[in-house]
Amino acid sequence: MSEPDYEVVTSTSDAGFLRITVAGVFGVQRTKHLFDRAAADAKHHGASRVLIDAMGVVGSVSTMAHLELGAHAASRFRGVRFVLVGRPEVIDRFGETVAVNRGADARVFLNEAEALSWLLGDGKA
C-alpha cells in the first residue's frame, strides 16, 4: 500500500527562491514524491533555488533511507540549489553527502536562518 503524500502547507515563489513547507510523519516514498514535486514546481516557476521547510515532519530516518533519499534528491534537482530544513531526528549530513557526491548543490540545516544564508549566498558557509 502506498503512503499518502505530506501535507503541503505552502508552496510559494518569493524572494528569489521557491519555498515549500511540509508536515506529516516521515516516509521514504512521500519524501521522494516531495522531491519530485519540488523539482517540478521549481521548473514551473523558473526558480533556481529551493527551500524545503520540513520542520513539521516527525519520525526517525534510517541510514539506508538517507542514502536512498540523497541519491533521489540529486537526480531531481539538477541545476537547482536546494536546501532542506528539518528536525535533528529527520535530517543528517549523510544524506546531504550522498546528494552532493552525486552532483547536487544541496545542504541540510537545523534552522532556517542558516539555510537562507547558504541558499541566497555564495554557498561557501
Q: Is the pLDDT of residue 124 over 60?
A: no
Using one digit for the tens of pLDDT, what is the confidence trace for 19-72? 999 999 999 999 999 999 999 999 998 899 999 999 999 999 999 999 999 999
pLDDT exceeds cutoff 80 at 13 = no
Helix, coil or strand: residue 120:
helix
- 48 lies in a domain? yes
Q: What is the dihedral of CA 9, 102, 106, 75, to 10 degrees?
A: -30
76-116 residue pLDDT tens: 999 999 999 999 999 989 999 999 999 999 999 999 999 99
Whether 125 is covered by a domain: the verdict is no
Count of structural domains, the chain: 1
pTM attached to this predicted model:
0.90
Residue 102 lies in a domain: yes
* Domain assignment of residue 51, yes or no: yes
2: in domain: no
Pairing outcome for strands 7-14 and 17-25: antiparallel
Task: Please report, for the domain that includes residue 98, its CATH number.
Answer: 3.30.750.24
Secondary structure of residue 105 in the 3-state scheme? strand
Contact call for residues 84 and 108 (beta carbons, < 8 A): yes
The Cα 102–Cα 82 span in angstroms is: 13
Domain of 116 in residue numbering reads as 7-120
Quote the cell numbers at residue 116: 537562507
- HSE-CB at 47 with a 13 A cutoff on CA atoms is 25
* 26 lies in some domain: yes
Judged on CB neighbours under 10 Å (0-12, 13-18, 19+), 35 is buried
